[in-house]
A = this chain, B = another copy of it.
């Protein structure tokens, strides 16, 4: 899958690209079938909603679950991002975000790169956010909202929100959100929220400001939400556990396009359980091989 010059331009201007129905219903069914068992595990990588057993976020499914390990190497996702960065990629973070029916809570306005920079010492913004819908997304089940072009503001000073969400988040100031929305067109396009069937994919810049509201509808809005980092841009600190911020910088090798339905063989390093090392963290800055040499 190759992006057109028009798509590449649009990505640089708007900060995101939307591919409705990129994965087929049969491919999505392969993924969805693996979710309940993942959610049922009482493991550190299942983060639950405040005061509830509902899973808000599952981390690192690509390390334990065959269909998600295939998705993590899927050419329909990997190739466009390699094309945009002109470099090989590794998997920095892999989440299944369960914005569940009636329960799913708010995510305040934020940039993802803020966290990667502040916590993980990722050197630059050369990492891509990817959202893949495992459920249909409509205006009622808490879709992702973007401020188009807000990535061009670069890294924004943020405050660490530890209270309103169940997961610590570097959130952006309301006055700045107002300005960014105004610059992007105000009520005419200043906020967008791509909607579409399960299997749709969004690529969005790691500095694109985004949020999502609560899900009061009877429809789950589960999605895979991952970040692909240019290999040269790998993180320099392991302050967060490995299931949140990965430490294997080996370039991803794509599987064939039909890998989900053909069930291509995949390696599952954490299949037998989360290793103790994945929970170890450190505040030390690591040196790159070039620096060490």
A249 at the interface (CB under 8 A from B): no
Q: How many copies of this chain sit in the oligomeric assembly?
A: 2
A155 at the interface (CB under 8 A from B): no
Which residues from chain B contact A142 at a C-beta distance below 8 Å? Answer: 213
In contact, A218 and B140 (Cβ under 8 angstroms): no
Which residues from chain B contact A181 at a C-beta distance below 8 Å? Answer: 217-218
User: Which A90-140 residues have C-beta < 8 A from chain B?
Assistant: 101-102, 106, 108-109, 136, 138-140
A214 at the interface (CB under 8 A from B): yes
* Interface core residue of A136, A178, A217 (most chain B CB under 10 Å): A217
Which residues from chain B contact A145 at a C-beta distance below 8 Å? Answer: 140, 216
Known contacts A102-B174, A102-B177, A177-B102, A216 near B140 by CB under 8 Å? no
A187 at the interface (CB under 8 A from B): yes
Q: How many of chain A's residues touch chain B, expressed as a range? A: 20 to 34
Which residues from chain B contact A193 at a C-beta distance below 8 Å? Answer: 139-140
Known contacts A138-B187, A145-B140, A187-B136, A109 near B178 by CB under 8 Å? no
In contact, A213 and B216 (Cβ under 8 angstroms): yes
In contact, A214 and B214 (Cβ under 8 angstroms): yes
Q: Which residue of B lies closest to A217 (CB)?
A: B191
A18 at the interface (CB under 8 A from B): no
In contact, A106 and B177 (Cβ under 8 angstroms): no
Which residues from chain B contact A212 at a C-beta distance below 8 Å? Answer: 216
Supply 6 further A-B pairs (C-beta < 8 A) apart from A140-B193, A187-B219.
Answer: A139-B139, A139-B193, A140-B145, A140-B191, A181-B217, A213-B214
The list of the 8 closest CB pairs from A to B, nearest first, reads A178-B218, A102-B174, A139-B139, A213-B213, A140-B191, A211-B216, A181-B218, A213-B214
